[in-house]
Chain A
Amino acid sequence: MRQSWWKILAIALLLYTLTAGLLMDVPRLPILNETIRALHFHVTMWFGMILMLIAAVYYSVKYLRTNDIQCDDLAVEFTNSAILFGVLGITTGMLWAKFTWGDYWSGDPKQNASAIGLLMYFAYLILRNSLTDTQQRARIGAIYNIFAFAAFIPLIFVLPRLTDSLHPGNGGNPGFNAYDLDSKLRMIFYPAIIGWTLLGTWIATLRVRARRIERTLEDRFLNS
């Protein structure tokens, strides 16, 4: 966890994303225009969120198998980072939608689905806070985390595909692949995903370490 190479990589990738994402030439398209740059700052949030939720589910499963409280720290902090990314994703998406679709909220199925997903994970945090015993909180939190993720997957991958979405790539709107003939966008998009996800992981690990220090201090206080 204390290795530093991936943190340096995260900073480098994000510097590259920020400069190249904001300054490089983008395809000029009707309606989208310069807002196509949201690809690097909005779409990547969702990728980061889902990757971190998968990590949270992984550690939840691991907790249930081993009963190791350290796994629970990781699970809850990955979920916290994922929620942060989700909130950022929804805010950036609303800003983008204001300029391309004309409204902050247009009842697009993907918008609705992501809002419901956030509700699910806010409920997870409330559930955890309603339990006082550490082990029980960890166990029931892990169970709900896995359960919520199982319901989240059909929500974001299946349902929006059954109805028309305003998002590029859905409902007859061409996806970014169709615009991005010279793969210039992709050159920034993929590194951006990795960069943002690493940043989220970094935040999560910092908070996990804070939690562990807190617990050690508490134990020392109780034993003294």
Chain B
Amino acid sequence: MIKEITILIQKELRLEWRQKYALNGILLYVVSAVFITYLSVGAKAGNLSINSWNALYWIIILFSAVNAVAKSFIQEHQGRQLYYYMIASPEAIILSKIIYNTGLTLVLALLGYGVFSVILGNPVQDQGLFLLNLVLGAMGFSATLTMVSGIASKAGNNATLMAILSFPVIIPILLMAIRISKNALDGLDWTVSTDKLIALLAINAIVAVTGYILFPYLWRS
């Protein structure tokens, strides 16, 4: 099982490396989105209130993640999916996709954070908590979006469907992540955020486990 997952993740990486335009496209998407935000709010570095900084950052990450993960089931055509169906177990496929997309979302989030820090200022006081929160948020986003993109890919794969199916499901994760992120921005003590971190982890676990159980049924159809 673990061997199967590592091979599948390697496959994802190699595929991404061969079609560099997809990866570069999504990276450019993040940078452009941050820049548009920067110009729209008309704020210089350090001029933006902490709440707005936090909200803008997470909304940009949410949209980039939706766009990045949406392609996880379309970039490979039907014939190749049938081939995977024969050689790999659905559990290994969903786990490998979730792990790979977690990495992808994390890269996007870090890139967004970097660009944000440069042009909109970096008000984060507790870097450790902020980064830990990014990792947990990326896990949650990827678990939800991978499953939803699987569902959307069966339904003609239109972008609207991907958005309306994933947004309400992702809101609990987004809200928790925004709250923890606010604590990190304010540099509050870790004890304040412990219960929220546990809640976020629990929501991640619920979503991931449901996806893990349901994916074989989706895959079979």
Chain A residues at the B interface, C-beta cutoff of 8 Å: 64, 116-117, 119-120, 122-123, 126-127, 130-131, 135-136, 139-140, 142-144, 146-148, 150-151, 153-155, 158-159, 162
Contact partner of B221 (CB less than 8 A), chosen from A119, A139, A158, is A139
User: Do residues B151 and A127 form an inter-chain contact, with CB atoms below 8 A?
Assistant: yes
Q: Which of A122, A140, A147, A158 contacts B199 (CB 8 A)?
A: A158
- Knowing A127-B161, A148-B169 touch, does A158 contact B203 (C-beta < 8 A)? yes
B164 at the interface (CB under 8 A from A): yes
Interface stretch (choices B9-17, B117-125, B210-218): B210-218
Pairwise interchain contact A140-B151, C-beta atoms closer than 8 A: yes
CB <8 Å contact, B169 and A159: no
Shortest CB-to-CB span from B197 to chain A, Å, is 12
Choose among A130, A143, A159 the residue that contacts B214 (Cβ–Cβ < 8 A): A143
How many Å lie between the Cα of A122 and that of B164 in the bound state?
Answer: 9
> Which single member of B144, B151, B172 contacts A159 (CB below 8 Å)?
B172
B158-186 interface bits toward A, Cβ cutoff 8 Å, 1 = contact, 0 = none: 10010011011101100110010000000
- Asked if B74 lies at the interface with its beta carbon under 8 angstroms from chain A, I say no
- Of B151, B168, B206, which contacts A120 at CB under 8 A? B168
Known: A146-B210, A151-B207. 8 other contacts (CB 8 A): A116-B168, A123-B165, A130-B156, A139-B218, A140-B154, A147-B148, A151-B206, A162-B199
Q: Of A126, A135, A143, A150, which one neighbours B161 at CB under 8 angstroms? A: A126
**A and B contact pairs by CB, cutoff 8 A, 25 listed:** A64-B217, A119-B164, A122-B164, A127-B151, A127-B161, A130-B156, A131-B154, A136-B221, A139-B218, A140-B154, A143-B214, A144-B165, A146-B210, A147-B151, A147-B214, A148-B168, A151-B168, A151-B169, A151-B172, A151-B203, A153-B206, A158-B172, A159-B176, A159-B199, A162-B196
CB within 8 Å for A155 and B172 given contacts A143-B214, A144-B151, A150-B207 = yes
Task: Write out the residue numbers on chain A whose beta carbons fall within 8 Å of the beta carbon of B211.
Answer: 147
Task: Assess whether A154 is in contact with B218, with CB atoms less than 8 Å apart.
Answer: no
Question: How far is the CB of A24 from the nearest CB of chain B, in Å?
Answer: 39
Given A116-B171, A126-B161, is A151 in contact with B218 using a C-beta cutoff of 8 Å? no
A126 to B206 alpha-carbon distance, docked (Å): 24
B195 close to A (CB within 8 Å): yes
Bound-state Cα–Cα, A48 to B206, Å: 24
Residue of B nearest to A128 (CB): B155
Q: Give the CA-CA distance A113 to B132 in the complex, in Å.
A: 26
Q: Which residues of B contact A150 (CB under 8 A)?
A: 206-207, 210
Which chain B residue lies CB-closest to A138?
B221
**A142 to B: closest C-beta gap in Å:** 8
Give Cα A148–Cα B170 distance, bound, in whole angstroms: 10
Q: B202 contacts the other chain (Cβ, under 8 Å)?
A: yes
Q: How far is the CA of A150 from the CA of B211 in the complex (A)?
A: 10
B147 at the interface (CB under 8 A from A): yes
Contact of B206 among A116, A154, A159, A162 (CB under 8 A): A154
Q: Closest Cβ of chain B: how far from A145's Cβ, in Å?
A: 10
CB distance from A115 to the nearest CB of B (A): 9
CA distance A141 to B155 in the complex (A): 10
Greatest chain B CB density within 10 A among A131, A135, A142, A151 is at A151
Does A154 lie within 8 Å of B202, measured CB to CB? yes
For A156, the closest partner residue in chain B by CB is B172
- Give chain B residues whose Cβ lies under 8 Å from the Cβ of A136: 154, 221
Cα of A85 to Cα of B156 in the assembled complex, Å: 31
- Could you say which residues of chain A place their CB within 8 Å of the CB of B206? 150-151, 153-154
- Chain A residues with Cβ below 8 Å from B168 are 116-117, 119-120, 123, 148, 151
Q: A154–B203 contact, CB under 8 A?
A: yes
The residue of chain A having its C-beta at the shortest distance from the C-beta of B147 within the complex is A147
